[in-house]
Amino acid sequence: MNNKKRYSIDDCNVVSLPKHTRPNGNLTVAEGNISVPFDIRRVYYLYDIPAGEERGGHAHKQLQQFFIAVSGSFDVIIDDGDNRRTITLNRPFTGLHIRPGIWRELNNFSSGAVCLVLASEHYDEDDYIRIYDEFIAYSKEDKQ
């Protein structure tokens, strides 16, 4: 029997990050285990995404991620194997926390959109589930 924690899309939260407004510009801070609910071990960003293209299309077994639209906007579709929800990110002081075992797809990128991703672990190909049917089987394990 597998003892992994099962998360649903209801466990994925939109989080408001601290926004410091000044006459000379705004500052938003994302700190591990404070405003971001995990230690940050990797940071990467997506940009120059051609119109109509999608990113993501996978799930992680252990990795948690925190998505921020630092410029422009995009949609994140989250799926727990039973339910799906689309969340639009379009403010640089708002992030989406995605738990392990949740399928994610990113689409509808605006021109100039930049997606910043904070990750709880270093890159590990073995943590990915890249085929949707395999994800469905994974999400159903131990649910009987």
Single-letter code of the amino acid located at 60: H
As a whole number of angstroms, the distance between CA 65 and CA 95 comes to: 10
Q: What's the topology of domain 9-140? A: Jelly Rolls (2.60.120)
pLDDT band at 3 (very low <50, low <70, confident <90, very high): low
Is 122 among the residues known to form the active site?
A: no
As a whole number of angstroms, the distance between CA 82 and CA 143 comes to: 12
Single-letter code of the amino acid located at 107: N
Note the pLDDT tens digit of each residue in 130-143. Answer: 999 999 999 988 66
Options 58, 60, 97, 122, the catalytic residue = 58
As a whole number of angstroms, the distance between CA 7 and CA 61 comes to: 11
Phi, psi for residue 31 in degrees, rounded to 5: -120, 135
Note the pLDDT tens digit of each residue in 81-134. Answer: 999 999 999 999 999 999 999 999 999 999 999 999 999 999 999 999 999 999
